[in-house]
Every structure is written in C-alpha cells, then in structure tokens.
C-alpha cells in the first residue's frame, strides 16, 4: 500500500540521484540494477496501486510467481507463498554517505557553513520567536531553526516545548556478506515482503559483496538512539536466515563480513512529518519521521525544506504530510515495511 504523493516524491528523488554526479560534482556509486518486490497478494488486489504508480511514471512490470522462479541470475528461487512480483527496472542503489558529503560540499561551495561534531543543547525563544541556538561549542544567534534530527527529533522539539508530535523509534539492520563467487553490481535487488511479519532484501554492494537488509523488529523494544548498533537475538536471525535460504537456496554458503544497524524516526502512519508544529515558536520548522525510507525521499524533501523556510510554495503538495495530522485525526494509510 502506498500513496500517490509518496510515489511522486520517490520518483523525482530517484531522477535527481541519477544525475547527482553531474549536478553536485560527487560520484555516489549509483547503479541502476532494477528491483523486484515479492508480495503474497494476488495481482488483481493490487490493480489500483499498480495503475496509480504507472500513471505517476513508474515503469512497473507485474510478474507471476512462475515467471520469477528463474529471475535471479545466481540461481532458482522457491516461489512458495508469493502471489505477485512488482518489477521496477529503473530502480537503483547508491551510497548514502557519498550523497550526504556531496550535498554538504555543494552547500559549502555556495556559501553555507557546515559544522560537524556540534551538539545542539538548547534553543532560546523570545516573544514567541526563536532567537538563539545553544551548542556545546558556543551560541548561534538565529531567527530560523529546522529540526531534522531524525531519531533525536523529539529531544529538539522538547527544547521549544513542542510535545504533540508523536515521533517513535524503529531500527533497521544490515548484514554485509561475501558471496561464493562473483556477484555482479547489476544483479537486481530482491525485496521479499511475502512472508507475514518478515521483510528482507538482498542486493549487490560495492566490492563484490552482497547486502542483506532485515526488518524483523520487536515493536515494543526500547531503543536508545545514542547507543544502538545491532541487536537482533540469535533466534530471530536464525528464523530470518532460514526464510532467506528457503527462498534463495543459492545464498546458503555466503559468509558474514559484518552486521550493523541504526535507528530511524518513525511516525504512527510510517510517513514523514513536515511543517511548523502547532504551538511552536515563529521560525521553527520540522522535517522528520522518515520511517525507514528517508534516503530515497531526500532530494525531494531537501528542496521542499528550502522552499518551506523561505516561505515559498513547495514543489510538491505536502498537505498530506502535515506535521499536525495526528492530533487532527488525519493519519495516512500505513507505509509499514517500505524499503528501497
Ligand atoms: C540500516 C539502515 C538502512 C536504511 N535503508 C534505507 C533504504 O534502503 N532506503 C531509504 O530510503 N532509507 C533507508 N534508511 C532510512 C534513512 O536512512 C533515514 O530515513 C534517513 O537517514 C532519515 O534522515 P534524517 O535526516 O531525518 O535523520 P538522520 O539521517 O538520522 O540524521 C539526523 C542527524 O541529526 C543529528 N542530530 C541529532 N541530534 C542532534 C543535536 N542535538 N545536535 C546536533 N545534531 C543532532 C544526528 O547526528 C544526525 O546526523 C535506512 C536506515 C538505516 C538505519
């Protein structure tokens, strides 16, 4: 399940990432390898969402289970429980670290100061307007503050007494593996969301490695964003890797290089939250709660953040992502388990 606005933003962002090197002068390891999403649903039940995505401009192919059996160049896949596959041949992957560095360097080139390793500890407000940011390295006078602090966004909101934005925490885990033999960078990404309660993806990574992304989270676990790295217990990993090997027997001899995880801010409806929260001081803006899919939306949201703080109309309609939608009872359809 997805919504039109999100598809438009993701498509726009993917086109910006495709020309990132040209526009920002930074190579980002962009590889357009295509992506196959496997679902348990029958194709008819997805007809509306498929039509909507095609209408927006996504070149979406629809595959039946038997057509996917020999889709993966490394070996046969077991199609048990898969009802349909959605294939986007233009989907790509890129290095998020290089993208961040590329944007930061371009901003510097255009006159911005980018300061690393500076912790915001407080925000001062006078007469209902933000006036100053206090950091561990001094104070900065300003009439504009943007809260884009991801998993730490609630802490920043509390500094200006904003308590009505329900930002939660989720975690995402990755295992970097060595395949047995060559694994071409153009090998398509497979996302398997056909097994209830489980989601994983398998895609090529640099240096001939294979990245396995896992989202089998305990929604009740307490996450400390200052101290999170990778915590799935062995039995969770054993279950999940059992499912992955069951689907793709060819991964059974792959070996771990390392495993890592990190938190992300998640909203109750798994959609980003954008704008000035109710009761916030003048000059205070938020773009937060990217709910596990902030990388693929970053170019679009980055542009819209700039437009918002300049008081301009945003390039895309952000109405549905309004930050106060939860207290207004306008939460969106869930984007849970969106990866890519
Ligand atoms: C393992 C993993 C895999 C993922 N895979 C994908 C994917 O395939 N596709 C996708 O689209 N998304 C993916 N995501 C999600 C994506 O990375 C996030 O949605 C995105 O990074 C959120 O961006 P953000 O700017 O809101 O927050 P962040 O990227 O978390 O940035 C927040 C920043 O705020 C800083 N900060 C916090 N508090 C303070 C303070 N007090 N003072 C100063 N600075 C502060 C932090 O240091 C941090 O740099 C993945 C995430 C993880 C963890």
What are 176's strand-pairing partners? 211, 258
Could you give the CA distance from residue 88 to residue 58 in angstroms, rounded to a whole number? 7
The 3-state DSSP composition of the chain as helix, strand, coil percent (nearest 5) reads: 30, 25, 45
Nearest CA to ligand 1 atom 22: 294
Buried b (16+ CB within 10 A) or exposed e, 167-178: bbbbbebbbbbe
Tens of pLDDT, residue by residue over 271-280, are 999 999 999 9
Nearest CA to ligand 1 atom 8: 340
Edge-to-edge strand order for the sheet containing 255-266? 60-63, 84-88, 35-39, 189-193, 200-204, 210-214, 168-178, 255-266
Neighbours of 62 (CB within 10 A): 14
Note the pLDDT of residue 134. Answer: 98
Write the pLDDT tens digit of every residue in 63-72: 999 999 999 9
Burial of 140 (0-12, 13-18, 19+ CB in 10 A): middle
Which residue's alpha carbon is nearest to atom 49 within ligand 1? 149
Task: Give residue 292's region: left, alpha or beta (phi > 0; psi -120 to 50).
Answer: left
CB distance 74 to ligand 1 below 6 Å? no
| Residue 294 CB less than 6 A away from ligand 1 | yes
What is the topology classification, in CATH, of domain 35-89+168-266? D-Amino Acid Oxidase; Chain A, domain 2 (3.30.9)
Q: What pLDDT is attached to residue 226?
A: 95
Question: Quick one: pLDDT band at residue 140, thresholds 50, 70, 90?
Answer: very high
Ligand 1 pocket check for 146: Cβ under 6 Å: no
Token reading at 145:
């503050």
Q: Whose CA is nearest to atom 41 of ligand 1?
A: 120
Distance CA 66, CA 44 (A): 17
Percentage of residues in the chain with pLDDT exceeding 90? 86
Confidence of residue 340 (pLDDT cuts 50, 70, 90): very low
Q: Specify the range with the lowest mean pLDDT, choosing from 58-72, 157-171, 225-239.
A: 225-239
- Does the Cβ of 273 fall within 6 Å of ligand 1? no
18, 21, 27, 29 alpha-carbon torsion, rounded to 10°: 0
Q: Which ligand 1 atom is at minimum distance from the Cα of 173?
A: 1
Sketch the domain layout of the chain as residue ranges: 35-89+168-266
- CA atoms of 49 and 47, how far apart (whole Å): 6
HSE-up of 96 (CA within 13 Å, CB side)?
Answer: 7
Q: What is the mean pLDDT of the chain?
A: 93
CA distance linking residue 46 with residue 319, whole number of Å: 25
Q: Which helix (H) or strand (E) holds 253?
A: none
Task: Please determine, for residue 337, whether its predicted confidence score (pLDDT) is greater than 50.
Answer: no
Residue 236 banded pLDDT, cuts 50, 70, 90: confident
What pLDDT sits at residue 334?
A: 60
Q: In the predicted model, is pLDDT for residue 1 greater than 60? A: no
Question: pLDDT > 70: what percent of the chain?
Answer: 97
Q: Is 228 in the pocket of ligand 1 (CB under 6 A)?
A: no
Ligand 1 centroid to Cα of residue 36, in Å, is 25
**Size of the chain in residues:** 340
Q: What is the pLDDT of residue 219?
A: 67
ipTM, 2 dp: 0.99
> Which residue bears the tokens 């294979």?
210
Q: What is the pLDDT of residue 331?
A: 87
Average pLDDT estimate for 89-115: 97
Per-residue pLDDT at 339 exceeds 90? no
> Is residue 231 predicted with pLDDT exceeding 80?
yes
Task: Please tell me the predicted confidence (pLDDT) of residue 233.
Answer: 85
Per-residue pLDDT band at 338 (split at 50, 70, 90): very low
pLDDT in tens, 188-199: 999 999 998 889
pLDDT surpassing 90 at residue 304? yes
């Amino acid at each position: 399940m997805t919504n039109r606005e999100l598809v438009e933003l993701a498509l726009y962002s993917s086109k910006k990432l495709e020309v990132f090197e040209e526009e920002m002068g930074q190579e980002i390891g962009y590889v357009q390898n295509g992506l196959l999403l496997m679902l348990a649903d029958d194709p008819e039940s997805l007809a509306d969402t498929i039509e909507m995505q095609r209408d927006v401009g996504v070149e979406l192919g629809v595959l039946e289970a038997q057509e996917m059996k020999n889709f993966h160049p490394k070996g046969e896949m077991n199609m048990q429980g898969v009802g349909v596959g959605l294939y986007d041949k233009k989907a790509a992957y890129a290095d998020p670290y290089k993208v961040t560095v590329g944007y930061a360097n371009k901003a510097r080139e255009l006159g911005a100061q980018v300061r690393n390793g500076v912790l915001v500890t407080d925000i001062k407000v006078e007469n209902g307007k933000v006036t100053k940011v206090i950091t561990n390295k001094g104070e900065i006078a300003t009439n504009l503050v943007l809260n884009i602090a991801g998993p730490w966004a609630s802490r920043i909101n509390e500094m200006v007494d904003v308590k009505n934005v329900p930002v939660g925490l989720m975690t995402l885990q990755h295992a970097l593996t060595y395949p047995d033999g060559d694994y071409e960078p153009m090998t398509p990404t497979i996302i398997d969301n056909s097994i209830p309660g489980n989601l994983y993806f398998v895609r090529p990574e640099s240096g001939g490695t294979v990245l396995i992304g896992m989202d089998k989270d305990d929604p009740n676990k307490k996450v400390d964003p200052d101290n999170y790295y990778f915590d799935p217990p062995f039995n969770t990993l054993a279950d999940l890797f059992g499912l992955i090997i069951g689907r793709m027997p060819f991964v059974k001899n792959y070996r771990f290089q390392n495993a890592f995880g990190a938190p992300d801010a998640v909203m109750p409806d798994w959609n980003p939250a954008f704008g000035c929260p109710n009761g916030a001081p003048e000059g205070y803006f938020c773009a937060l709660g990217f709910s596990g899919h902030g990388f693929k939306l970053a170019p679009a949201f980055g542009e819209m953040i700039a437009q918002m703080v300049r008081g301009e109309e945003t390039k895309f309609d952000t109405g549905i992502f309004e930050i106060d939608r939860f207290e207004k009872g306008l939460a969106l359809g869930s984007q849970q388990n969106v990866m890519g």
